[in-house]
Structure 1
Amino acid sequence: MAGPVIFAERVDWHTRSLLAAVARHGGKARVISLTACGFAVGETAHGLLLPGFGDDLPAACFVRSVPAGTLEQVTARLGVLHALSALGVRVMNDARAIERCVDKSATTFLLARAGLPTPRTLVMEDRAAAQMLVDAAPGDTVLKPLFGAQGRGLARLAPKDALPGEADTGGVYYLQDFVAAPPCAPADGSHEDFRVFVVGGRAEAAMVRRGSSWITNIHQGATGIATAAVGALADLAVRAAAAVGAAYAGVDLIAGADGQLRVLEVNSMPAWRGLFDATGRNMADPLAAHLMAETVAA
């Protein structure tokens, strides 16, 4: 087998950090876009088209991003990741974990099935039925896009607020109870939640994300503040990553009015620049260590 591969669309700060970290662990990774990969059944020994590999396979693969595209394109790209796993190549994260995390309804189902605290969530296609649930909710409801990231497309609805049309939601209504702030919330009225970065079953770093909006993503203007990745925060994050089968993950949690933590989301291809700015720790190091350890074990 050849060296490891980083599937990424561009050599940005994250990719450069990973390449350098892999090199520090004695490896030499190459960057490939999943858009350049495909299937070559009857043409290559393994049946895949992987630029620069021919009949060889990578020792391991790190998935930094799966580019957006048509349903057919995304299916084919995930198919390549599925095939690599079937061929015995360690993929981090594999297609199954990515699919579970991209689909927020699947994530929430698996979190609850694993016994993890998560807000009440209802997902359906019928707009009239969804509107009835919003109107009957005990408080505000958060409408999320089923596929979405970085806090884009979120809406907070009070009972009787009208839901958007099906064209604006992809025909699916993902509804989650809004989590009210705990008694220890910031006195200035700002909002906060937590991001914990998990690698190989270990909570490596964490930050509080604090902002003036209830949408506390760093990309939406929130500020990251370092906090210890220990106790219930770390335990819930590690269990959440395990529930979706993720080798690494960015886990979002929030404290409710009762002071108890709840898991909101699990991100299977998380960025970590905001976490680095807050904590000074570059997650490329534990990621590369885990990737290279798996490569050696293979």
Structure 2
Amino acid sequence: MTKRVAIVADRIGWEERQLIQSAPALGLEVDWVNDESLCLGHPDTPSVDQYDALMIRSRSYTRGGLIATLAEASGVPVLNSAGAIHACENKLVLRAVLREAGVPVPDFRLAVSRKDFEKALDDLGLPVVMKPVYGGMGKRVTLIRDADLAHSVYDYIEDLGHAFEQACLIEPYLGGGSIRCLVIGEEIVAAAEFESAGADWRSNAALGNQSRALAHDPEVQKVVDGVVDRLGPGIYGVDLFKTPSGHLVNEVNHAPAWRGVASTTGVDIPAAVVAHVQEMLA
């Protein structure tokens, strides 16, 4: 019998469309279920009981984590796990759990006040990067090169209305390139190196930066293996910085975009995702 999987998301993007179109030929039925229509909470999860598993692809990490938690509690297999999503949704939590597990991450300071911010600048020196604890796709990530700009930027942060928006990580600026590793199950199925383009210093696949395929690198593999050991098998976008002392994990995305990596490497990523789901449900 063909297994049925629901992509739980607030919209259908390129990646979701590729999965839905490719899955039937590979022996899997994949539907989109709007994450705003589930109304979970009933122990029998009537809105998803027709599916063998849920693949959480919500753009909102918080929403995805809540849905995954309720689905798991009702016995519905979830990809990725609720624990992994909750770790990934908060940059501070992710850094803490990875560092505790021995996975290398950049030095950082948490700033929840101007005193914190000023102390972080004293500790780390300029230039630094300030990024929100919650957020993705390079949004609100700011490179601070001088002290005058630093205080002006923090004036803006103080004006944000909610405390969770004011919480930021301050970290040393490590250069303009990054590596995106797409992990499916426990394996790196594709990897690409992204470089900042034009006047934008940020290297982020969502920003359309230039990229090149990355050959197998044992050091990269070791770092990514550490991430998977801590978070569990799943589908992740693991972003690394390359530094003179080795590779550092910048972020882990629980619902990664892969269009850029796919176009750079030529890997059939939907087929790899379907194979992993079928193995999980076997």
Match of 2:14 in 1: 13
Checking the alignment, whether the CA contact within 8 Å between 1:253 and 1:265 is kept in structure 2 is yes
Aligned amino acid, residue 262 of structure 2: F
| Distance apart, 1:16 and its partner CA | 2.1
Contact 2:184 2:235 in 1 (8 A): yes
Q: Secondary structure at the match of 1:209?
A: strand
The equivalent position to 2:264 in structure 1, one of 265, 272, 278, is: 278
Q: Residue 176 of structure 1 aligns to a residue in which SS?
A: strand
TM-score by length of 2: 0.87
* Amino acid corresponding to residue 119 of structure 1 in structure 2: P
Instruction: Read off the aligned partner of 1:179 and give its amino acid letter.
Output: L
Question: Aligned partner of 2:5: which letter?
Answer: P
Aligned length: 271
1:271 aligned partner, one-letter code: A
Distance in 1 between the 2:66 and 2:142 partners? 33
Structure 2 residues without counterparts, runs of 5 or longer: none
Offset of residue 67 of structure 1: 4.2
Q: Distance in 1 between matches of 2:60 and 2:170?
A: 26
Tell whether the 8 Å contact from 1:111 to 1:118 is kept in structure 2 after alignment. yes
- C-alpha distance in 1, partners of 2:12/2:168? 36
In structure 2, how many angstroms separate the alpha carbons of the residues matched to 1:110 and 1:121? 14
**What SS does structure 2 have at the residue aligned with 1:36?**
coil
The answer as to 2:158 corresponding to 1:166 is yes
The CA deviation at 1:113 is 0.8
**Residue 95 (structure 1) shift:** 2.2
Which residue does 1:209 correspond to in 2?
194
Cα distance in 1, alignment partners of residues 165 and 253 from structure 2:
20
1:185 aligned partner = none
**Per-residue displacement from partner, 1:154-213 (whole Å, max 9, x unpaired)?**
112236331423234712121112225xxxxxxxxxx32100011111111100101234
Is 1:244 equivalent to 2:247 in the alignment? no
For 2:41 and 2:246, locate their aligned partners in 1 and report how far apart those are by CA, in whole Å: 51
* CA shift digits 1:85-138 (9 cap, x unpaired): 123322111222111111000111111111111111111312222222213424
| Cα distance change on mapping 1:143 and 1:40 into 2, 3 Å | closer
SS at match of 2:159: helix
Q: CA 1:17–1:172 in 2, change beyond 3 Å: closer, same or farther?
A: same
Identity of aligned pairs, percent?
Answer: 23
Aligned to 1:39, what secondary structure does the other structure show? coil
> Equivalent residue of 2:78, what SS?
strand
Q: Is the 8 A contact 1:195 1:250 kept in 2?
A: yes
Helix, strand or coil: the match of 1:29? strand
Q: Which residue of 2 aligns with 1:175?
A: 170
Name the CA shift for 1:96/1:64 in 2 (closer, same or farther; >3 Å): same
Q: Which amino acid aligns with 2:53?
A: A
Distance change in 2, residues 1:11/1:158 (3 Å): closer
**1:234 matches 2:221:** yes
Correspondence list, 1:114-153, <5 A: 114-153=101-140
In the other structure, the counterpart of 2:83 is 96
- Match of 1:125, as an amino acid? V
- 45, 51, 55: which one pairs with 1:48? 45
**TM-score, normalisation: structure 1:** 0.83
Structure 1 or 2: more helix by fraction: 2
- Distance between the aligned counterparts of 1:40 and 1:135, measured in 2? 47
Stretch moving more, 239-248 or 101-110: 239-248
Which amino acid letter does the alignment assign opposite residue 256 of structure 2? P
Aligned to 1:156: 143
**Aligned counterparts of 2:266 and 2:146: Cα–Cα separation in 1:** 42
Q: Which residue does 1:269 correspond to in 2?
A: 255
Distance 1:49 1:18 in 2: 24
Find the aligned partners of 1:79 and 1:12 in 2 and give their Cα distance. 21
For structure 1, the 5+ residue unaligned runs are 69-73, 181-190
Query: Which amino acid in structure 1 is aligned with residue 80 of structure 2?
Result: N
Q: Which residue of 2 aligns with 1:59?
A: 52
Return closer, same or farther for 1:149/1:229 CA change in 2, 3 Å cut-off. farther
